[in-house]
Amino acid sequence: MTGTGLPLDGVRVVEMTHMVMGPTCGMILAQLGAEVIKVEPPAGDKTRSLGGMGTSFFPLFNRGKRSVVLDFEKPADRETMHRLLASADVFLENFRDGQLEKQGLGTDELRQKHPHLIVAGHKGFLSGPYEHRPALDEVVQMMSGLAAMTGTRDKPQRVGSSANDIMGGMFGAIAILAALYQKRGGRTDGADIRIGLFENCLFLVAQHMVEYEMTGNKPRSMPEREHAWPIYDIFDTAGGGRIFIGVVTEGHWQSFCREFGLQEFAEDPTLRTTTDRILARARIIPRVADEIKRRNVAELSEKLDTLNICFSPINRPEDLLSDPHVLRPGGLVNNVNADGKAFRVPALPIEWNGGHIGEGLKVPVLGADTPAVRAELEGVTSTAKTDRRRA
């Protein structure tokens, strides 16, 4: 499948992953133009049948892929898998160490049979004492301290999305792109890449680890942290709404005080520096809260936008489906689920030559591409045999 005009046009990826991290990697590569062939067991990827918060998992993270069903209990299907890998540039997997060896797809066998292949394994942990453990997004958030920083030490709270799984898939894509770039220099051998969910979460909390390393002070959780700015808070508004406001520069402070009738703060000689204002938050914030509550969210948004001060209404995910910026051309793309129903999804968060990526992607029906891919492989085999005879 070529002719997309996208940067990975002509790259073939064979994906044998499930849940979120591995499929995210494949989904990103597919949107960048790669042909991603998802190999599923006869019963299909288990996330196809998830409900509740998992309803979106399969359609969201498997858009733009082809689905091939192979039963590794059958020697012929194992052979088909190896022929498929021989035609591929990249192999994605996210199984526990040792599982693929049972199916003849272990690292040593892959390296022997397909030395050209870039193999990217999405795992719970990188090599080390914990490499044998399974992991979940919530597990590594608890282990890494991210949950304690998001909530508190007494009441840790996971981030409200599959943030680590998704970011792990992104790191997988970055590493694969690096390996593909390396091949541009004429290198013919592949690469063995391992991406760790736990280490991904460490990357997220590194700022707090390094703070402790440098200062010896234990970082406070986000709800308990010391404020770095005089106004950096959520406020109630008229009409029952809520808004976050962050006043972070001297210019912002002066214009905010002037616009909201707080000139006494701007002229107070005891509030000349940011540090002075932080120390005086106990008297500043109640007064600011009174002024904010006189206005509704729409009025406040207009004023703060004009002043170039950071702000945001307190939204829920469903609110974004009516947000004017999200609804701008290209902000949401239209995709089609395996059942034929259309759904909207945020575009890949980049612009490519001024355009957006991801419009019109389809979620594959289980096994829909098996006959076509088998026929393509037969064609490749037949061509190879003919070439050998001619030689």
Residues pairing with 191 in the sheet: 118
Q: State the helix-helix crossing angle for 297-307 and 250-259, rounded to 10 degrees.
A: 140
Rg (CA), the chain: 26
What's the rounded Cα separation, in Å, for the pair 121 and 116?
A: 16
Cβ neighbors of 68 (< 8 A, separation 6 or more) are 37, 38, 39, 40, 84, 367, 369, 370, 373
What's the rounded Cα separation, in Å, for the pair 310 and 127?
A: 42
Catalytic residue among 165, 189, 236, 323: 165
Give the full edge-to-edge strand order of the sheet including 242-247: 231-236, 242-247, 310-313
Structure tokens at 367: 């096994």
Q: How many residues are given for the chain?
A: 391
276 is catalytic: no
Which residue type sits at 50?
L
Q: State the helix-helix crossing angle for 197-215 and 163-183, rounded to 10 degrees.
A: 100
Question: Quick check: 284 and 230 in contact, CB under 8 A?
Answer: yes
Residues pairing with 234 in the sheet: 244
Q: Which of 342, 317, 320 lies closest to 331 in space, CA to CA?
A: 320
Q: So which residues are the catalytic ones?
A: 165
